[in-house]
């Protein structure tokens, strides 16, 4: 099963704007997937774990809005198949901020995967900077294939 954890905050233009992009991206990618195989959950800023107890810690895929993930990092780390959705690769020298809640360094340090809406986007400022280790990047098609093959 694929769980998509989005923010229920509609007052913040940046969070809501990214959320619309995530929804449009997933709507396009999941249009041929049985709707029983994925579920969208709108979350408050801080998630109470008992409210998402239906998610299997070991087997389900959890796709996180970046700001939801940032505010619930302990839960992101707890779920084995956590994947944070970013709009595109981040500028490696940019610090964590409201507009850049999660970056590749955090994914490496906290052992979760990333997924990019704009996979081919590459900011020219990253040409001089490289990470020693690369984060694990998932593609939605790979997850769909795994779900379809495993029946979960």
pLDDT of residue 40: 94
Domain boundaries, the chain: 2-150
What does the pLDDT look like over 55-112, one tens digit per residue? 999 999 999 999 999 999 999 999 999 999 998 887 666 667 777 788 888 888 899 9
Whose structure tokens read 């959705």? 85
> Lowest-pLDDT range, 20-29, 58-67, 121-130, 135-144?
121-130
With 90 as the cut, is the pLDDT of residue 147 above it? no
HSE toward the beta carbon, residue 142, CA cutoff 13 A: 10
pLDDT of residue 73: 96
pTM score, whole prediction:
0.85
Q: How far, CA to CA in Å, does 152 sit from each of 25, 37, 95, 134?
A: 22, 7, 37, 29
The backbone torsions φ and ψ at residue 137, rounded to the nearest 5 degrees and listed phi first, read: -115, 125
Band of pLDDT at residue 130, cut at 50, 70 and 90: low
Determine whether 100 is exposed, middle or buried from the number of CB atoms within 10 Å of its CB (0-12, 13-18, 19+): middle
> Lowest-pLDDT range, 16-25, 81-90, 131-140?
131-140
């Amino acid at each position: 099963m694929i769980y998509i954890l989005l923010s229920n905050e509609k007052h913040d233009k940046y969070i809501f704007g990214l959320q619309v992009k995530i929804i449009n991206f997933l709507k396009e990618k999941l249009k041929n997937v049985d709707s029983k195989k994925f579920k969208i959950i709108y979350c408050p800023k801080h998630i109470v774990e008992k409210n998402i107890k239906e998610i299997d810690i070991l087997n389900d895929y959890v796709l996180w809005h970046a700001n939801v993930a940032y505010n619930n990092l302990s839960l992101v780390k707890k779920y084995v198949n956590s994947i944070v959705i970013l709009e595109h690769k981040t500028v490696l020298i940019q610090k964590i901020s409201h507009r850049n809640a999660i970056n590749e360094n955090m994914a490496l340090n906290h052992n979760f995967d990333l997924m990019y809406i704009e996979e081919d986007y590459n900011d020219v400022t990253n040409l001089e900077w490289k990470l020693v280790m690369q984060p694990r990047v998932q593609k939605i098609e790979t997850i769909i294939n795994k779900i379809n093959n495993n029946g979960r």
